[in-house]
Structure formats: C-alpha cells, structure tokens
Amino acid sequence: MPNSPATVVASGLAHDSLGYSLLLGARVLASVYAGRSLNEALGLLSQEPAVARGAAQDIAYGVLRRYGWGEFLLGRLMSRPLTHAETQALLLAALYRLDTRPEAAPMVVDQAVAAAGELAGGGLKGVVNGVLRNFLRQRESLMLAAMQDETARYWFPPWWLARLRRTYRDGWQGIVAAGNTPPPMTLRVNQRRCSVENYRERLAGLGMAAKSVGSWGLTLEKPVAVDALPGFADGWVSVQDAGAQRAAELLAPEAGSRVLDACAAPGGKTAHLLESADLDLLALDIDPVRTRRIEDNLVRLGLTARVKAADCLEPAQWWDGRPFDAVLADVPCSASGVVRRHPDIKVLRRESDIRRLVHTQAAILDTLWSVLKPGGRLLYATCSVFVEENSAQIDAFLVRQAGAQRVAEEQWLPGENNDGFYYALLRKA
C-alpha cells in the first residue's frame, strides 16, 4: 500500500472540528486498508480528545460497513485512485458523511478540504474539493448506478455474497442486511450477584430500558458506555451477545466437573460457565496479552479458574493427562457472523482464508477430542455463517471419529437480537 499511514496526528485543525474528526477517521481507515485490524488502528488515537476519538470511530465504522460503496462512487468520479492512501481514505470518509448528513453538505466539503490540507503537503486539496462537489452535482445518477452494482448495493465482497447465496437461498439478504447495521448491546447478568429481573429494574431506575433475551440476557434499548452500567465494576453484569450466551447453556457442565475452555480469550464464555456452576476449569489462549484479559474479567466478576497462555494444539504444554468432563472449543474462524461488530473483516478477510481456517479447526477438534473422557461432551463453536466452518466441518469430524455422536446442533443467523453463531454439541461414546 503506498504511503503507509502515520501513527501520530499533527494538525492545525481545531480538535473539536469535523475536519479533525475526518482527518482522524482517514488515518484509521488507511491503517485498516494497509492491513491493521480496526481495534489496532483505533488504538493509534488513544491520546486524542475523547470527542474527536469517538467521532473518528463513528466515521471509520460507517465507511467500513459500507464496503465497496464509496469505492464505487470514487471509481465514477475519478479516472484512477489516488496514490496517497490517507487522502483516498479521507474521500471515503467525506462521502459517508455527505450521505448520512446531507443537510450539512457545505460544511462537510469545507471541512474535508481543510483536512486534506494536513495531508500530502496540502497538494491534494483541489482534488478533494472537486471530487466532493462533483458528487453533490451527480448524486442522484450516482446513487442509481450504485444500486446496479452488487458490491456497492449490498456492501459485501462478491465472494462473500456468493457463499451466502449458495447456503441461504431464501435468507441471504436478511443476513447481509443484519451485517450492515449497528449491533445491539446485550448484557449477561451475573446471577451469582442478582437476578435478571432485579438488574432490569435497576436499569429502569436509571432510565435505561431493556428487554429480556434468553435466560441470562438483557438487550438495551440504547447502547451506553460500560461505566454507566450499575455494578459493572463490581461484576454484576458483562457485555455479551445473546447468541454467545448460548454456549454455556448448551455445554451445561455439572458442578464439580473438570472443564477445558480451549480458545478462551477474552473470557466471556469462560466467565459464563463459571457463573453457571462451580467448576474445575482450565482456560487457554495462545496469546499472552489476550490471556491477561481473561484474568482481568474473572477478577472483576469474582470468579476463579486456572488460566494459561498455551497453544491448544500442543497438549504437552498444558495437559496433565487427566481427561476432561467437558470441553469448549470456540475455534478461530472467519468471524462472518459478527461482521457488524468488526466491519474491518470485510476488508481484511480473503476467500482463501476459509480453507486455512477449516484446516486449523479440524486439527483443534481432533486434538481436543483426545483429552475428553469417554462419556464427556465437547461443544464446537464458531461465530461464522459459512457452512464449511460449521455443519460441514462437523460432518467430516464424525467420519474421522467413529465414537463421536452429535447431540445437538444450532445455527444462529445474525438478526435483531443476536449475531451469527454455530454450535455442535458432541458426545464421546
């Protein structure tokens, strides 16, 4: 990628201006297009004022959700893409703002031009000004043309859409629509501290409306900062999607069971298992930094487990030879079911990644099966909607492992109340 983005923003723009937010958003977007995850790219803004950081985050999420839309428009407005990555990203950010805030079009253009003055020595201000004003003049015809282009219309890579169509002939458009909307904020109530209904009443007392979802969850009518949640710091509640909460309910280990959570970070499902019953639980993750997040979550919730940074594919690193009663295998996957929370996946994921992930998932399944006791249960979990990672993966596993039985299987598709997840509960005969 030409002109790799800088990590420090130096600007003469007022830090509370739209131009500064566009500039920050462009820096973040250019970092993602250069290969960073969105979380990593947003981390570059840690020293920025909170208001500017929040506005830049909104811009980055909005542009990434609209995968291919802005690029299509620029393809009609320019003879070739700019070689300066951050200015190209600035144009995408400005187009997003022009479409979502049409009443502020003159200000958006002016502020985008001001932001362009901070990039490439200011030499592309005229280009930015001309492109955006041409967009406003041609807006109606450009929007009609975008509706005729599959990527610009649905905001997903063509290969992704093709896979969805093959598997979900009647429901693929609903999956796409859900993937393009902001996700709900769902809480998991720590029922060792209070009941779901009691916590809902506490929220209502603070003016936060919420509806029950599942046995442990509450979905907020409007998202809030976690610091605003009553008792969050004291472990009364955690943020966890309703679909993700299904894992502990399906595995449902008995009190006193020896349990392995093999790919545990950041620890949401680990904590839910421990909230459900007193367990002898080992939580693994290959990344030491993410492993510390598991520990931090358990401390906040007042829960105890053995936590170890180790590769689940190398049992010699972590297994003492005693088989487990239950295993949770929340395996690495395409994350195609949680794309609305992580829209950078649309940019960073490649179709070729699926075969590599399927191979890794199969290896994890076979390895973890060997540490499960006869009669024990393994829950295979992904946050994917691709069949290769889900039911097809389990079908192949059952052929390899004659003693495996499929006890339950659930495919959760992204919708109003939950993200996309797949679960297969397996029993070792």
What's the residue count for the chain? 429
Given a contact cutoff of 8 angstroms between Cβ atoms, the answer to whether 291 and 312 are in contact is: no
In whole angstroms, what is the distance from residue 14 CA to residue 40 CA?
A: 25
Please state the separation of Cα 248 from the chain's center in Å. Answer: 20
- From residue 255, alpha-carbon distances to 215, 275, 330 in Å are 19, 11, 21
Given a contact cutoff of 8 angstroms between Cβ atoms, the answer to whether 188 and 245 are in contact is: yes
Burial of residue 338, with CB atoms counted within 10 A of its CB: 0-12 exposed, 13-18 middle, 19 or more buried = buried
Closest listed residue to residue 341, CA positions, set 108, 182, 211, 131: 182
DSSP for residue 48: S
Q: At 7, is the secondary structure helix, strand, or coil?
A: coil
Burial of residue 374, with CB atoms counted within 10 A of its CB: 0-12 exposed, 13-18 middle, 19 or more buried = exposed
In whole angstroms, what is the distance from residue 38 CA to residue 45 CA?
A: 11
- Which token pair is 74? 């620029």
Q: Within 10 Å of residue 167's Cβ, how many Cβ atoms?
A: 18
Query: Catalytic: which of 263, 312, 333, 383?
Result: 383
310 contacts: CB under 8 Å, gap ≥ 6: 284, 285, 286, 317, 318
Given a contact cutoff of 8 angstroms between Cβ atoms, the answer to whether 270 and 261 are in contact is: yes
- Which token pair is 8? 């420090």
Q: At 408, is the secondary structure helix, strand, or coil?
A: strand
Closest listed residue to residue 272, CA positions, set 190, 214, 213, 211: 190
Does residue 383 carry a catalytic annotation? yes
Residues catalogued as catalytic: 383
